[in-house]
């Protein structure tokens, strides 16, 4: 409240001006200039609550008087009007509502076709004029058929139709602008290139935020539409498994674009390990195209699917002109924390302008963007400040009371669906992002990733042949993990039965903590694996019935994949540890 309207310092008894009082005083002072008759607007863009808005009742009355805590009474000129831009009025009082005129804009009446018409006008000098009308018609035809279908599909974090459309148009602009692709080729080839990029843009905008269970539906609906155009789209391959080759401008499977091979690094932190797969190639490509072309990206997915690892790996290996900084949001994050992070990583070109070093672009990676606690009236101040930085291009300095512009800066954010301390975020923030959902890894991907990690670790011992056992161990681990998430579901008395990919990672991580010289034979390695599986999964189970079921299921997997002839009691109580010996601790 003090930052808005001003406050008296209780120690020095000095009056400190607020942003609202300064803006009103500036409007009064301008009455004396040559342009005194001009209309002036003070726009409050953000959620209203029953605290700060109630302090403006006298301003919103006919007398238009702003009363401050220090006794000052400032009359607003008749040419000055206050406007409030809000998402809803859930917590606004009748006293506020009755003092303001209301204009309600319904998205259903506005529609999405106007966005395409406006975009076409803006793109006249950006995209080839010869192809621009056909691109607009094609995009509209795709969306006309797909949006009614997609609006009925499940999204873990819902997105507005207008956001899906603007995301699609952003991708089309990125791929088909004059600098990105040369369309001065024969007409048929140019049309094929345009068709390919429009189809790809539709997939990764309209279909990018669909939850796992409904992706097959989108796959079917999209293939029905893409067949109307001459493209290189492969109808026998899933739409989400096809990328674009930047040189040939043709569709190509993502797994054919994996260029690097995984090499195990014993000094690397386990949760920073990234094994190249079609998923890593896919999401790195999308992030590169978005961030290098001035768009913000939001990467969403369940816990443990690799959102943060993929994004950090991309930013750490980004081109030299792309700087990055990492911000972790938590339940206790405040607006001051966000301001400190922004100002600490940008240079002050002038007192009212922040930007990265000359010739560079800055990308802030905000992890767990939906973690900040809701305040008393249901808003998240750090998220609202982030929205202002993106929307208005800066924020107000609450000490010196001027607007600071933030230039050459974009944001990539990551979050899991609301639950367990994570909160729904206002769609007014997420509308500025291209929203991409990362589905759970398939069983094949899990086997591929963890097998390469375990093989790389065991291969360090050259005289050992244990690396060949890694595939069998990981197959058993993945099968057990899938049984656990399907059979042991959370209930009111077992609310902690929430298993995710991070638990499977911990099994492999625990195995990598063992000293290599201690791994003498297959039996020893298998016992180590059994110990880690039981510690991660079985120790979390609270009653004997669950523990017995887990032991029996895991015993079947061990016998099936590892060809063990052990009885259940032989390994049920296997424990590895470094607490049995004095001196240097070894696992």
Q: State the DSSP string of 110-153.
A: H-SHHHHHHHHHHTTTTB-TTTHHHHHHHHHHHHHHHHHHHTTS
Answer whether 260's CB lies under 8 Å from 247's CB: no
Mean pLDDT of 165-171: 94
So what's the pLDDT on residue 437? 93
582 pLDDT higher than 80: no
**Per-residue pLDDT tens for 339-393?**
999 999 999 888 889 999 888 899 999 999 999 998 888 889 999 999 999 999 9
> What are residue 252's DSSP bridge partners?
243
So what's the pLDDT on residue 33? 67
DSSP assigned state of 360:
-
Reduce the DSSP state of residue 298 to 3 states and report it.
Answer: strand
User: Measured between alpha carbons, how far is 193 from 414 in angstroms, rounded to an integer?
Assistant: 32
User: Measured between alpha carbons, how far is 468 from 113 in angstroms, rounded to an integer?
Assistant: 57
More confident residue, 472 or 575: 472
More confident residue, 156 or 412: 412
> What percent of the chain is predicted at pLDDT more than 90?
34
| DSSP assignments along 19-54, one per residue | HHHHHHHHHHHGGGSTTTTS-EEEEEES---TTTTG
| DSSP assignments along 217-236, one per residue | HHHHHHHHHHTTS-----TT
Give the fold, CATH level 3, of 263-440: Rossmann fold (3.40.50)
Reduce the DSSP state of residue 410 to 3 states and report it.
Answer: strand
So what's the pLDDT on residue 172? 93
DSSP assigned state of 213:
G
The burial of 500, by beta-carbon neighbours within 10 Å (0-12 exposed, 13-18 middle, 19 or more buried), is given as middle
Answer whether 260's CB lies under 8 Å from 280's CB: no
CATH 1.20.920.30 fits 443-571, yes or no: yes
| DSSP assignments along 148-211, one per residue | HHHTTS--SS---HHHHHHHHHHHHHHHHBTTT----S-HHHHHHHHHHHHHHHHHHHHSTT--
**Per-residue pLDDT tens for 11-66?**
888 888 888 888 888 888 877 766 777 888 888 888 888 777 777 878 888 888 88
Cα 28 → chain centroid = 43
**Per-residue pLDDT tens for 467-487?**
888 888 999 999 999 999 989
Torsion angle defined by CA atoms of residues 180, 184, 189 and 194, in that order, rounded to the nearest 10 degrees: 40
Boundaries of CATH 3.40.50.300 in the chain? 2-99, 263-440
User: Measured between alpha carbons, how far is 241 from 27 in angstroms, rounded to an integer?
Assistant: 57
| DSSP assignments along 388-455, one per residue | HHHHHSEEE-TTT--EEEE-SEEEEEEEPPS-TT-----HHHHTTEEEEEEPPPPHHHHHHHHHHHHH
Q: For the structural domain made of 2-99, what CATH number should be given?
A: 3.40.50.300
Answer whether 380's CB lies under 8 Å from 413's CB: no
Which of 315, 273, 314, 283 has the alpha carbon at shortest distance from 437?
Answer: 283
Residue labelled with tokens 């991070």? 502
Answer whether 164's CB lies under 8 Å from 205's CB: yes
Answer whether 381's CB lies under 8 Å from 334's CB: yes
Between the alpha carbon of residue 165 and those of residues 157, 240, 283, 505, the distances in Å are 17, 19, 20, 37
Reduce the DSSP state of residue 372 to 3 states and report it.
Answer: coil
Reduce the DSSP state of residue 377 to 3 states and report it.
Answer: coil
Cα 76 → chain centroid = 43
Which of 262, 305, 275, 273 has the alpha carbon at shortest distance from 509?
Answer: 273
More confident residue, 64 or 118: 118
pTM score over 0.85: yes
Give the fold, CATH level 3, of 112-257: Cyclin A; domain 1 (1.10.472)
Boundaries of CATH 1.10.472.130 in the chain? 112-257
> What are residue 297's DSSP bridge partners?
412, 434
So what's the pLDDT on residue 584? 62
> What percent of the chain is predicted at pLDDT more than 70?
97
Boundaries of CATH 1.20.920.30 in the chain? 443-571
Answer whether 314's CB lies under 8 Å from 326's CB: no
User: Measured between alpha carbons, how far is 193 from 184 in angstroms, rounded to an integer?
Assistant: 11
Number of alpha helices (DSSP H) and beta strands (DSSP E) in the chain: 21, 17
Mean pLDDT of the chain: 87
pLDDT class of 117 with cuts at 50, 70, 90: very high
So what's the pLDDT on residue 341? 93
More confident residue, 420 or 299: 299
**Per-residue pLDDT tens for 292-334?**
998 999 999 988 888 898 999 899 988 888 899 999 998 889 9
Torsion angle defined by CA atoms of residues 17, 19, 20 and 26, in that order, rounded to the nearest 10 degrees: 80
Mention every residue, 6+ apart, whose C-beta is less than 8 A from residue 58. Answer: 65, 66, 67
**Per-residue pLDDT tens for 192-227?**
899 999 999 999 999 999 998 999 999 999 998 888
User: Measured between alpha carbons, how far is 295 from 166 in angstroms, rounded to an integer?
Assistant: 11
């Amino acid at each position: 409240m003090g930052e808005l309207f001003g406050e008296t310092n209780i120690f020095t008894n000095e009056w400190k001006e607020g942003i609202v009082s300064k803006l009103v005083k500036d409007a009064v002072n301008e009455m004396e200039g040559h342009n005194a008759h001009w209309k002036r607007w003070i726009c409050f863009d953000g959620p209203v609550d029953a605290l700060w808005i109630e302090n403006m009742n006298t301003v919103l009355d006919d007398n238009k008087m702003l009363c401050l805590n220090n006794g000052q009474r400032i009359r607003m000129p008749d040419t000055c009007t206050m406007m409030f831009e809000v998402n809803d009025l859930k917590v606004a009082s009748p006293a506020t509502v009755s003092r303001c005129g209301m204009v309600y804009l319904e998205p259903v009446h506005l529609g999405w076709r106007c966005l395409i018409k406006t975009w076409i006008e803006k793109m006249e000098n950006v995209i080839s004029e010869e192809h621009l009308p056909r691109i607009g018609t094609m995009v509209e035809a795709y969306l006309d058929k797909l949006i009614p279908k997609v609006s009925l599909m499940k999204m873990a974090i819902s997105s507005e139709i207008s956001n899906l459309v603007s995301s699609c148009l952003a991708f089309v602009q990125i791929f088909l602008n004059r600098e990105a692709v040369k369309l001065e080729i024969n007409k048929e080839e140019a049309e094929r290139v345009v068709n390919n990029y429009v189809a790809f843009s539709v997939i990764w905008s309209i279909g990018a935020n669909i939850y796992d269970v409904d992706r097959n539906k989108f796959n079917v609906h999209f293939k029905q539409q893409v067949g109307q155009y001459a493209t290189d789209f492969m109808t026998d391959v899933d739409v989400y498994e096809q990328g674009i080759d930047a040189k040939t401008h043709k569709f190509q499977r993502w797994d054919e674009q994996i260029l690097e091979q995984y090499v195990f690094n014993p000094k690397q932190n386990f949760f920073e390990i990234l094994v190249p797969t079609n998923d890593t190639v896919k999401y790195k490509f999308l992030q590169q195209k978005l961030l290098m072309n001035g768009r913000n990206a939001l990467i969403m997915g369940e816990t443990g699917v690799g959102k943060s690892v993929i994004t950090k790996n991309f930013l750490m290996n980004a081109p030299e002109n792309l700087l990055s900084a990492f911000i972790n949001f938590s339940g206790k994050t405040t607006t001051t924390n966000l301001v400190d992070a922004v100002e600490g990583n940008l240079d002050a070109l002038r007192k009212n302008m922040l930007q990265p070093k000359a010739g560079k672009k800055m990308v802030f990676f905000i992890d767990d963007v939906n973690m900040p606690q809701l305040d008393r009236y249901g808003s998240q101040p750090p998220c609202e400040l982030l929205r202002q930085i993106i929307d208005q291009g800066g924020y107000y300095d609450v000490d010196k009371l001027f607007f600071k512009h933030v230039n050459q800066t974009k944001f990539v954010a990551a979050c899991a669906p609301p639950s367990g301390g994570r909160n729904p975020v206002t769609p007014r923030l997420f509308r500025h992002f291209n929203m991409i959902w990362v589905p759970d890894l398939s069983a094949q991907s899990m086997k591929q990733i963890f097998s390469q990690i375990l093989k790389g670790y065991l291969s360090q011992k050259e005289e050992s042949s244990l690396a060949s056992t890694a595939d069998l161990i990981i197959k058993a681990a993945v099968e057990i993990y899938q049984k656990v998430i399907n059979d042991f579901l959370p209930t009111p008395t077992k609310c902690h039965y929430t298993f995710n990919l991070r638990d499977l990672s911990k099994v492999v991580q625990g195995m990598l903590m063992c000293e290599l010289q201690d791994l003498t034979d297959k039996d020893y390695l298998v016992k180590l694996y059994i110990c880690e599986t039981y510690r991660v999964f079985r120790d979390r189970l609270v009653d004997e019935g669950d523990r017995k079921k887990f032991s029996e299921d895991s015993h079947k997997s061990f016998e099936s994949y590892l060809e063990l002839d052990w009885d259940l009691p032989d390994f049920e109580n296997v424990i590895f540890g470094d607490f049995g010996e004095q001196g240097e601790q070894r696992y």
